[in-house]
Amino acid sequence: MLRYARQLPLIGEEGQARLRSSLVAVVGAGGIGSPLSLYLASAGVNLRIIDGDSVSFNNLHRQILYGEEDIGLPKALVAERELRRRNSEIYVEGITERLTEENAPRLLRGVDLVMDASDNFSTRYIINDFCVRNDIPFVYSAINGFYFAISFIIPGKTACLRCIFPKVEDSGPVPVIGMTPALVASIAAAEAVKYIAGLGTSLAGKLLIGDLKDVEFTHISVSKSKNCPVCSR
């Protein structure tokens, strides 16, 4: 327990035991997924990293798991290597596949929590629909430039992602500065650790929106939609 001595006063030994017995899926090992995975691994959480992409040079300004020597290598496998190197006490599995409707039952099987660290709504809707159908909580995180949004979605209790964003069309890569995904990843990791450790969650039923350019943050309460094609069923 020496590794976790500074967090034990906050979550207790029971909370730490819950972290140690949990399995969290991180979908996307990019700008958000890199710092998010680092913080969860450091806290003692077992991880399944899902990403079908490879490291490229233009990733490096924000995807802090990787170095120049990793260019061309699968992100999921480099992430697995780096996270194991930082904490040999946890289980880490890197999966070099992109999440789809077809493989979601296999890739998300047996997890306690899903972290959406993807960069597109097509993947986010797959996460949402699978998690709602299978009663798995998940954390939605998104960035665009200096802006970010995050919510903790608990099936059956809170609005799902399709309630909040009924139909969003992806428009390709968005601009981003490296600090924005780092901040949203820190908040998402805190929400995950609190939830798993039994301390509750602050963003269930809320959408937190932040702007790092003007340093402004706001909460929006979100409610379930009676016409939602997913969670209203």
| The two structure tokens encoding residue 200 | 């509750």
Domains of the chain: 2-221 (3.40.50.720)
Is residue 180 within 8 A of residue 165, CB to CB? The reply is: no
Average pLDDT over the chain reads 96
Q: Where are the alpha helices (DSSP H) in 29-167?
A: 33-43, 75-86, 104-107, 121-134, 161-164
CA distance 191 to 7: 15
Q: What is the pLDDT of residues 183-215, one digit of tens each?
A: 999 999 999 999 999 999 999 999 999 999 999
CA distance 7 to 69: 33
Mean pLDDT over 38-64 rounds to 97
Phi-psi region of 221 (alpha: psi -120 to 50; beta: other; left: phi over 0): beta
Q: What is the pLDDT of residues 95-117, one digit of tens each?
A: 999 999 999 999 999 999 999 99
Please tell me the pTM assigned to this model.
0.96
Give me the residues paired with residue 113 across strands: 24
CA distance 58 to 230: 36
Q: What is the pLDDT of residues 153-166, one digit of tens each?
A: 999 999 999 999 99
The better pLDDT of the pair 137, 172 is held by 137
Nearest to 42 by CA among 199, 150, 192, 204: 192
Give me the residues paired with residue 218 across strands: 209
Which parts of the chain are beta strand (E)?
A: 23-27, 46-50, 92-95, 113-116, 138-144, 147-153, 206-211, 216-221
Q: What is the pLDDT of residue 233?
A: 74
